[in-house]
Amino acid sequence: MAFHDAAVTLPTQVGLPGAIPVGLPADSTVSAPATTSTLPSQSGARWKRRGLLGAAAAKRQDAAEMAAYLGYAAAWSAVRKLPERRAYQLFETFADRTWAKRGPSIIQLEKNLARVCPDADADQLAALSKESMRNYLRYWCDAFRMPDWTRERTVDTFRCENVELVDELLAEGRGLVIATTHMGNYDHTGAWAAATGRPLSSVAERLKPTRLFDRFVSYREELGIRVYPHGTPGVLDSLATELREQNRVVALISDRDMSSYGVPVTFFGHTAKFPPGPAKLALRTGAPLVTATLWYDGPTAVVHIAPQIALPPDAPTGEDCASQPGYTTAVAEITARIASELEVGIAAHPTHWHMLAKLWLDDLPARGSEG
């Protein structure tokens, strides 16, 4: 439903064959030397040597980023040419091999699933994480092949539960804000929305390599999804305008905050930070707010739209709401409601939640610490 970092972090998360992790080890960065009593000639030579090292490091990073882009481009092309059954079998094999390696992402996935399924034992968590990886790689196979899908296939292999509510809310003419999660196939959801006359916008995290990010943005725009890179100046203003003036759907990933402005919420009994964007847009524009969870049901991709989240009765609204008393409290209350609603959907379909990163605060390093 909404779109973000998974597109670019996949090589380091699941080790796709041929993909090269982007970036350099932390200890390979080159910093300016401290002032010392070194003789001028020695100091100059040291600066020159370090400058050369910095240039070499930059070239290595550029080469790694280009290799990552070329690896993705080759995979994208090859997977589209494979027979369909073979392509999905191949991605399931990738998923099983990645899961069997028990890398850090798989370990973290199981830690996250343990929060969702607290009564599961180690064997059950392993089975859950294996199935989750299969669903995650199915999404990736879909992503590589979707540019060749017809409109009929996009629509016929998708089901929206509570679509009547979506249409009722859009009929009010104020747009619709959807807070969603790392589940199912959000690209298919956006493509279905566009194909059925419910145009959708979202925000994607801007990551390197830039060429690969640009390619994924183009791919999603070809599906009919309008994408704003995260950090785009005035993005909240643009989304607010789309809601008010274009009656669009704005779908935002809401189960992990990628900024320093996250709102603390209780999520499966532990504290995490969720992004405030959906709440802020609802308060500012008056657009109705719902949550959505996504999963696969056999050959069909599914999205479930939960009932509308009512704004707190005393919440300030309108263009100047952020300057009014009670705004911060209202944002916190609405975001907590989003967390509660998403809990329900994730708990019902835990193997379709592909959260491979640290999420809860007690899993994250303390501010200012290493790691």
As a residue count, the chain comes to 371
Task: Report the DSSP pairing between strands 176-180 and 289-297.
Answer: parallel
Cβ(285)–Cβ(220) under 8 Å?
no
**pTM score > 0.85 for this model?**
no
In the chain, the N- to C-terminal Cα span, in Å, equals 31
Q: Where are the alpha helices (DSSP H) in the chain?
A: 6-14, 40-81, 84-101, 104-116, 122-145, 151-156, 163-170, 186-195, 210-222, 235-246, 277-285, 327-348
Q: Tell me the pLDDT of the chain (371 aa) as tens digits.
A: 343 333 333 433 333 332 222 222 222 222 333 333 334 445 556 545 556 566 777 677 777 777 777 777 777 778 889 999 999 999 999 999 999 999 999 999 999 999 999 999 999 999 999 999 999 999 999 999 999 999 999 999 999 999 999 999 999 999 999 999 999 999 999 999 999 999 999 998 777 777 778 888 888 888 999 999 888 889 999 999 999 999 999 999 999 987 778 999 999 999 999 999 999 999 999 999 999 999 999 999 999 999 999 999 999 999 999 999 999 999 999 999 999 999 999 999 999 999 999 999 999 876 544 44
List Cβ neighbours of 367 (8 Å cut-off, separation of 6 or more). none
What backbone phi and psi angles, to 5 degrees, belong to 368? 90, -5
Cα(19)–Cα(277) distance, rounded to whole angstroms? Answer: 33
Place of tokens 């939640």: 353
Q: CA-to-CA distance for 142 and 25, rounded, in angstroms? A: 32
Among all chains, which residue has been given the structure tokens 């708990």? 347
Distance between CA atoms of residues 329 and 312, nearest Å: 9
Q: How far, in Å, CA of 362 to CA of 178, rounded? A: 28
